[in-house]
Structure 1
Amino acid sequence: MLSAASVTAGVVLPASALSGLVGTGPLIVCASVVMGLAICCASAGSPVFRGFGSVLGGVLALVLVPFNGTVPLWEGLVILAVMFLGTAAYRAEHGQSTWRCTAGAAGLVVVCAVGSVYWSGTDTPFARRGWITGFLLAALTFALGLASRGRRVPQVLTALGTISYSVYLVHPVLLAVIDGTIGRRRQDSLVLEVAFVGALLPLCLLTHRCVEAPSQAWGRRLAARLQPPGTGR
């Protein structure tokens, strides 16, 4: 449903639509309050409060990702569709669904994602080709990883997977810094791409070790303290 909606969503709302509607400041305050409430409820001992907190956090994500992302609405919906596609693969892996249904959903997401780029008229043909190429390569990488999940993974790939979330968060910041200093070329340059990756990966390794890993450890300790007595891990 999300991938199908993305095909026509590009002409409905611009990027950061909620910020433009209510203002960035009020939106940050409102989202922070809702997120704090969701975290507190999800950490409570009552199953009712935990369920409410989980739903509230999910609703917040479903609102912010498509309606206030830095990308157009159609791209936000594609992101959500891909995320839920991972859930579909997880359910098929654990016998809660069939691989045939998952493969059909994956095909629909890919077709709608590619169609969304052309339907929305995004940027230049060069930008459209770059987006489609990146998306298809990401889908291929996921498929290869899923097919080889029972085999030994090279250590370099494991390391890249470990810092992948930091890469996801840091790379747009680094691009913004480049845009604000030397500017971004409109055509590919292998030298600049290698330099970008060479700067990005050490930076992401640093943020993983100094920010992400300590935060995860703190979260596990907090969860252990909040765990109801007599409940197994």
Structure 2
Amino acid sequence: MTDLVAPALVAPQLVVNSRMIYFGWLPADPDAVAALVPKGLEPIANRQVFMNQYVVDDEGQTSGFGAYSLTYIGPDLAGLDAPDGVTPGRWWTHYFNSSPVVREYAAARGAPASVGRTMIEIRGRRLVATTEADGVPVIRTTARVGRTGDAVNRGQLRYITDVGGRRLSGIYPFVAEPVDPFEIESLEFLEPNHSTWSLRPANPLEITWGFYSPRSSFAYPGGESPLS
């Protein structure tokens, strides 16, 4: 029997008031999504995909990361729910980040960090979020958004990563103020030859959950422990 070794401690980081659109959908190719889940983990039955596109506009919004933008995406997992017992655990397949500081930090925790940029633009009630990988637009989200009200989303999310062949479970606390109304109007995967194409949505688009918040706060790296 192999002894479990605790993950190395890293300085925690706090991010406040990021502009964030986070949602899930059913994929066009469920088998392709399932193939992205590594051995030992199991995709959720409906092969649901998640994506978070967010922007941190100012270095004063972080405890040490500085300003940056990020899109991460991947399949939901079965049997590894977050502490609420409802929200699925998640596996990152892509992690497009604009900051070398954040990329280095995230890669050390097992994220597949690569160079990318995320832009979120709002005109009136129309939001457009565009993700670039190495300068090439690969994903574009268009949504209808309203104003923030009295509602607050809060809790913890669970992400599973692999660090040197060792699986880690990370619990990430968050607090977000969602807008109302909120509706995804379109989700476009722009590059058929890019690896993100496997995660493209079914047609017609079926969104399973989601929100946009102009004030979303969370902590890195979360409470980490070996995945037994």
TM-based fold match above 0.5: no
More strand by share: 2
More helix by share: 1
Higher relative contact order (CA 8 A, sep 6+): 2
User: TM (normalized to structure 1)?
Assistant: 0.21
User: TM (normalized to structure 2)?
Assistant: 0.21
Structure number with bigger Rg: 1
